[in-house]
Amino acid sequence: MKRALKIVLIEDDDNDVVRIHHELCRAGLSVGLKRVETEAKFLEALRKETPDIILSDHGLPSFDGLTALEITQKQHPNIPFIFVTGRFDLRMVVDMIERGAAGCVYKNRLSELVPAIEEALDPAVRQPPPPEQELVREPAPLSTAHEAEAVPLAQVVICSTCKRVQNQQGAWEPLERFLLRHGEATVRLSVCPDCGPTQPLRSF
């Protein structure tokens, strides 16, 4: 029998716990789910048994996901940490990734949770990119008036090394410029051509 995937879930909403567990089971995963709501319980869960992956809401009344991520990075840096949140803020997502999160899945898109977990546990994806080289980069073209309008985008691809964003035309541009135009989007990590070979990744 296939070993159950050990998951620690930081979540205070009973309904969301049920929805997340249902999504994992619906995808055919065998999981052992340990739910915690406080820092003390989270630390206890890490001491008792090392999980395969950690899923966390962004903010709880007595605990928050960024603190949990910081603890994980210090104690178990090799355990993937994925945020599962109902709040969308692209700057917040970039901050999560810069701090070491493997990704972010929105609660209204839980169908993307299992692909995100599989991707985070894939050694090829988790392998760090090669050292960044000094390269001369062509400046991104200025946005046209039409592009300057806020445009919804289904998915945002962020380079895990330089944090540039791949736009709808396939070009890589500074995050600040991208944020001026685009609304809610799903986020995934990749590696831009300047920072290393691009790997095929499923969406977060």
**pLDDT value at 203 more than 50:** no
Mean pLDDT to the nearest integer, 144-154:
42
63 contacts 54 by C-beta, under 8 angstroms: no
Decide: helix, strand or coil at residue 163: coil
Q: Which of 99, 126, 153 is the last residue of a domain?
A: 126
Mean pLDDT to the nearest integer, 146-167:
60
The count of domains in the chain is 2
Neighbours of 49 (CB within 10 A): 10
Q: pTM of this prediction?
A: 0.66
CATH number of domain containing 62: 3.40.50.2300
**23 and 35 together in one domain:** yes
Mean pLDDT to the nearest integer, 39-43:
95
The range of the structural domain enclosing residue 50 comes to: 5-126
**pLDDT value at 82 more than 60:** yes
Mean pLDDT to the nearest integer, 122-143:
46
Percent of the chain with pLDDT over 90: 35
Closest by CA to 190, choosing from 153, 164, 154, 152, is 164
- What confidence category does residue 155 fall into, taking pLDDT thresholds of 50, 70 and 90? low
**94 and 146 together in one domain:** no
Continuous segment of H or E residues that includes residue 118: helix 113-120
**31 and 64 together in one domain:** yes
**pLDDT value at 42 more than 70:** yes
Q: How far is CA 137 from the centre of its chain?
A: 27
- Top pLDDT among 122 and 83 is at 83
**pLDDT value at 60 more than 80:** yes
- Top pLDDT among 123 and 45 is at 45
* Average pLDDT along the chain: 76
**86 and 151 together in one domain:** no
Decide: helix, strand or coil at residue 165: strand
